[in-house]
Amino acid sequence: MADLDRLDLLIAAVEKKHKYRTVCLDFIRHIGGQEIAKRTSLKEAIKSTCSKLHQVSGAFLENRPDFLQWLTELHTLPEELYSEMIKQYCQDKMRSHSSTNERLPILNEFFQKCLKSLAPIHSLLDLGCGFNPLALAWMPLAKDPMYLGIDVLADMTGFDQQFLQHTRIRGRVICKDFLGVLPKQHFQVALVLKIIPLIDQIEKEHTRQWLENIPADHLLVSFPVYSLSRKGKGMLENYTMRFMKMIEGGNWKMERFEFSTELAFLLHHQ
Ligand SMILES: C[S@@+](CC[C@H](N)C(=O)[O-])C[C@H]1O[C@@H](n2cnc3c(N)ncnc32)[C@H](O)[C@@H]1O
């Protein structure tokens, strides 16, 4: 059977699985195409596609939230992003995604410290955003900022989008594979938070080129200090070395920030 026919069968099989029903099609096609090229058996390719989708996306949101219930709750709250009720709601919901949950203990300082030199931020591109729109109230933003978030889970990005609308933030959250095409629009800052280790699992040889192509003046790149399994020994040193090597010889100026749960680098295009 031709690889293209096998890819169609693989996509149909993956889409049928409850756990992957909200992963955007272009991402299943991307990962599935790679796995088909590596394997002779279709069954093996389906299995390894699912496992990769889990590693790079599903694993961070193990217990799927009841988004309808979340939205019902949201619509009873004020529309003001900085109101205490909205901030409490955001902190509560950020616990559901392991990435934003890990950032909660440092939330008051993380964006303020990392983005201080650029404040106020007037446009933000958030690649692999997860529930990061819920952290907007903790960022040093300009009065009417523009936000574009991208992630591969349709139910999550749908919720994020409703959150932006409720709090009247200009912008969108779209369900797309950011390794496919990057936006054409230019941004002041791009957030590349805890996603480089995931890109390394899919396109390691292209990670540097991908980073260079991000349409923003400044990139805030971060790495987790702990792994999901909490065996984080040496991650700080390993990620620092990996990142230094990756940007070696590039036309960037860099600042480094270390927090108890995250390591961050702010890159400025020269
Ligand atoms: C480790 S989490 C980081 C989430 C967020 N950046 C943060 O730091 O809180 C990685 C996120 O990237 C998303 N993701 C992974 N690969 C992606 C891709 N190729 N395109 C878009 N989103 C992707 C996952 O679905 C997941 O929500």
Q: Are 196 and 207 in contact (CB under 8 A)?
A: yes
Lowest mean pLDDT among 15-24, 85-94, 152-161, 230-239: 230-239
Question: Which residue owns the Cα nearest ligand 1 atom 23?
Answer: 128
Residues with Cβ within 8 Å of residue 252, at least 6 apart in sequence: 267, 268, 269, 270
Q: How far apart are CA 51 and CA 57, in angstroms?
A: 10
> Rounded to the nearest whole angstrom, what is the distance from the C-alpha of residue 58 to the centroid of ligand 1?
9
> Rounded to the nearest whole angstrom, what is the distance from the C-alpha of residue 262 to the centroid of ligand 1?
15
Residue % of the chain over a pLDDT of 90: 82
* Token code pair at residue 146: 């523009």
Q: List pLDDT tens digits, range 164-173.
A: 999 999 999 9
Question: Which residue owns the Cα nearest ligand 1 atom 1?
Answer: 194
Question: Which residue owns the Cα nearest ligand 1 atom 2?
Answer: 99
Q: How far apart are CA 52 and CA 54, in angstroms?
A: 5
Q: How far apart are CA 35 and CA 1, in angstroms?
A: 15
**pLDDT at residue number 1:** 65
Q: Are 267 and 229 in contact (CB under 8 A)?
A: no
> Rounded to the nearest whole angstrom, what is the distance from the C-alpha of residue 184 to the centroid of ligand 1?
20
Q: List pLDDT tens digits, range 209-225.
A: 999 999 999 999 999 98
**pLDDT at residue number 30:** 95
Nearest atom in ligand 1 to the alpha carbon of residue 179 is: 19
Give the confidence band of 233 by pLDDT, cuts at 50, 70, 90. Answer: low
Token pair 């390894």 is at which residue? 48
Q: How far apart are CA 46 and CA 229, in angstroms?
A: 25
* Token code pair at residue 84: 């205490």
Question: Which residue owns the Cα nearest ligand 1 atom 18?
Answer: 177
Identify the H or E element spanning 255. Answer: strand 252-258
> Rounded to the nearest whole angstrom, what is the distance from the C-alpha of residue 5 to the centroid of ligand 1?
29
Q: How far apart are the first and last CA of the chain?
A: 50
Query: Measuring CA to CA, how many Å separate 111 from each of 90, 140, 144, 181, 229?
Result: 15, 7, 18, 26, 25
Question: Which residue owns the Cα nearest ligand 1 atom 20?
Answer: 177
**pLDDT at residue number 60:** 87
Nearest atom in ligand 1 to the alpha carbon of residue 224 is: 1
> Rounded to the nearest whole angstrom, what is the distance from the C-alpha of residue 52 to the centroid of ligand 1?
13
Q: List pLDDT tens digits, range 95-142.
A: 999 999 999 999 999 999 999 999 999 999 999 999 999 999 999 999
Alpha-helical runs (H) found in the chain: 3-16, 25-38, 42-56, 67-74, 84-94, 98-103, 107-115, 154-166, 196-203, 207-213, 235-247
Question: Which residue owns the Cα nearest ligand 1 atom 4?
Answer: 130
Question: Which residue owns the Cα nearest ligand 1 atom 27?
Answer: 130
Q: How far apart are CA 220 and CA 202, in angstroms?
A: 21
Triad 30, 239, 207: Cα angle to 5°: 30
Long-range CB contacts (within 8 A, 24+) of 61-67: 61/96, 61/97, 61/98, 61/130, 61/153, 61/156, 62/98, 63/96, 64/155, 65/93, 65/96, 65/159, 67/155, 67/156, 67/158, 67/159
* Token code pair at residue 19: 């756990």
Q: List pLDDT tens digits, range 39-54.
A: 889 999 999 999 999 9
Question: Which residue owns the Cα nearest ligand 1 atom 11?
Answer: 128
**pLDDT at residue number 237:** 87
Residues with Cβ within 8 Å of residue 264, at least 6 apart in sequence: 110, 114, 220, 221, 222, 223, 256, 257, 258
Ligand 1, CB within 6 Å, residue ranges: 27, 56-57, 60, 99-100, 128-130, 132, 150-153, 177-179, 193-195, 198
Q: List pLDDT tens digits, range 55-73.
A: 888 888 878 899 999 999 9
Which of 20, 56, 192, 193 to probe ligand 1 with, by most ligand atoms within 8 A of CB? 56
pTM, two decimals, is: 0.95
What counts of helices (H) and strands (E) characterise the chain? 11, 7
Q: Are 208 and 248 in contact (CB under 8 A)?
A: no
Residue % of the chain over a pLDDT of 70: 96
